[in-house]
Structures are given as structure tokens and as C-alpha cells.
A and B are shown apart, each in its own frame.
Chain A
């Protein structure tokens, strides 16, 4: 069960829906950015997923809005990434991005999509194994396996990237 499941019963109310969207939107957009590396695309995907949450909640077919919204978002990111190579796109309005951040994002995107999704949901959004499994349609063992594999791979990639960065700056 998600941490906001208690809101479910109130979601037929428009005001509650608006509050839910306003509360989830920033965090979901960040998660989407971690998944796709492009703020514009992350904004578009988040908007589309939350619009579906709103429309389907009005129809009364959403049991858990968080699980529903993140499941939609992760599926949309997976489909989008399948169609194009990952390219990190900095925000047009934001300032410069540190080289370390780019390396972290790059390492994250070198992971398998499932591993990346598990790490984002577990370590960035803070969902438990059960909710993460529900969002990605995985059982708990698979979630834990992906998490272990993802963490190990990310650690290795970051060490390699750090060494490379140090060598590059030293040179």
C-alpha cells in the first residue's frame, strides 16, 4: 500500500484531486527526469500520466493513485527510451550542471531500464519493495534482485567515472 493511500477515498472530489496533482507533480517530474534525462520530456510524460490519473480517478477506476501514477510513468519512460538513445538534456532555464552530476546521470542511464526504475523508485521516491513491485509489475524477490544488481553496477560505474574524471582533470 502506498504512503498516500488514505487519500484514495477522497479522490472523487475535484479539490482533493487538484491537491493530489499539485503534491505529486514536482516529485514525479524529477523521477521522470532521472529516468529519461530530459526535463522537457520529463514534464510531458508527467503531465500525460497525471492527466490519466485524473481522468481515471473521476471514472472511479483508480485504487491507489500513487501506484497507478508511477506505474504509468515508468511504463511511459520505458517506451520512450526504447524509441531513442538517451541524451542528457539540460534545462534551458536552469543554470549549468556540474560534471559530477552528469556522470551520475550517465551512470544511471547505463543501467538496465528495470534496474534504473527500481533504484529511482526505491532510493529517490522512497517507495517500499511492495509498492515498487506493484508499480513495475514485479514480485518482491525480483525487485530486491534488481536493486542489488543496480546498486552494484552503479557503484562500479561511478568508481570508473570518478577515476576517469580525475585522470582527465589531472591530465
Chain B
């Protein structure tokens, strides 16, 4: 049957058409195939790169905390760390930090802005940058629980209490401005109302010149922020207790 099958098949092919230029057609088609494959390879490469970039962007956006622009100041020139070692430093929470909504606009009046900084129960600290992104010190705010009347401190006489001024809304306060050192100026106000004391301090950069040694807020602005009822409300029931940061003038 083997021989017979090939013999049987031979006449079937009797009407075979001529080949013409089939060999050239094969090579032309091979060239087209090659070009198509190259295009597909490039396209799939581009798609893969785009997918990797998109995935990287999504993952970065989703997983990493938002960062502010890099500081132009060397780390050694950074603002003096005054936070006590035991101070808790949870991650900043925009929903929790309504204090920044009060402090931020005041800093903005001088063409500067506060960044999301550190915060803890009853305290906040915001780094300040100017319009050029240069570090311009910090603004620190803390609220304390006070039993009875508050003795506003007098630095020159630790045993005495300063005479406080009172706002129309019943908030007692004392301003403490230290501008003697051009390389390190501090404006602070301590305010007191209803068993709570609020300290607001704006400090300039340390040891990098008079201009940047100036705090981001004037003494008047610090006073205004410290006596703003919204700031007391913003802290709600928080108080810093054992984790309070340091201030130029400690709150008793």
C-alpha cells in the first residue's frame, strides 16, 4: 500500500498551478513579518516600561508618606532640637491637626509657610520655610493642664509671677520676646484660660545670621495666635503632660 499510496496521490496533483515568483514572495513576506515583530517588540517594550512606571508611581504614592521639598540647609544648621527625649512623636495626621489651620495663616502673612511637622498629644511643632524653600525656624505650640491659677513665670525672678494681660474673651496671657541674640531670636506667649495653659513659641534658625535668626512670627503675631480661642478649641481635650516639649520660657 505504501508504494500504491504515493502512486495514487501523484495524479491528484495533475492540475498544479505554476509557482511564478513564489520564492520572492516568501522573502517579501518574511521581511514584513520581521518588521511587524520588531514593531510589536518595541510596542510591548514601551507598554512594559509604561506599566512599570505607572506601578512605581502608584506604589510610591500609596506607600510612602508625603515629603516636603528638600531643605536647602545642611543638616548641621538645622533648628535646635528642643523636644524632650520622652516626647511621643506619632506620625502627623492632617485630620487630627487642626492646630495647623490656626498657625499656618499667621505664618503665611509674612510670605512663609509651615510644613507638616511633628506632633504629639497636646503639642505640635512645625518647621517653617520661606518662599524660596529655605528653612526659617520653627513654630512650637503646646497645651498644658493647670490646676488653679497659673503663675506666669518671670525669668529674672523665678519666685515671682508676671502680671498677665487679659483679652476680651477672658484669656490671660504674657508675652516673652527674646531678641538680644541676633542669631537666635525667640517670640513666645503663654496664655491661660479655664485650667489650660497654652504656649506658642516661634524661634528662628540658630547661628546662621540675623536675617534667618528672626522667627517666622513677630511677637505680636505669636500673641495673637496664642490668644486665639480657636487654638484652645483645636486641641480639644489634649494636653501634653509628661511629653511636653521645651520652651524658651517653661510653663510652670
Contact = CB atoms under 8 A, between A and B. Distances in A.
Contact of B6 (A29, A33, A124): A124
A91 B11 contact: no
Nearest to A49: B26
Contacts of B13: 30, 33-34
Contact of A94 (B11, B17, B19, B29): B17
Interface of B: 1-2, 5-6, 8-9, 11-19, 22-23, 25-27, 29-30, 32-34, 37
Contacts of A119: 5
Contact of B16 (A18, A30, A48): A30
- Chain A interface size, under 10 / 10 to 19 / 20 to 34 / 35 or more: 35 or more
Chain A to chain B: the 8 pairs with minimum beta-carbon distance, closest first: A94-B15, A51-B29, A54-B30, A91-B15, A51-B30, A123-B5, A101-B12, A91-B17
A148 to B, nearest CB: 10
Interface in A38-69: 39, 43, 46-48, 50-52, 54-55, 58
B33 A52 contact: yes
27 contacts: A21-B26, A22-B23, A25-B19, A25-B26, A26-B19, A33-B13, A39-B17, A47-B22, A51-B29, A52-B30, A52-B33, A58-B34, A91-B16, A91-B17, A93-B18, A94-B14, A95-B15, A96-B15, A101-B11, A101-B12, A104-B9, A104-B11, A105-B12, A123-B5, A151-B1, A154-B5, A155-B1
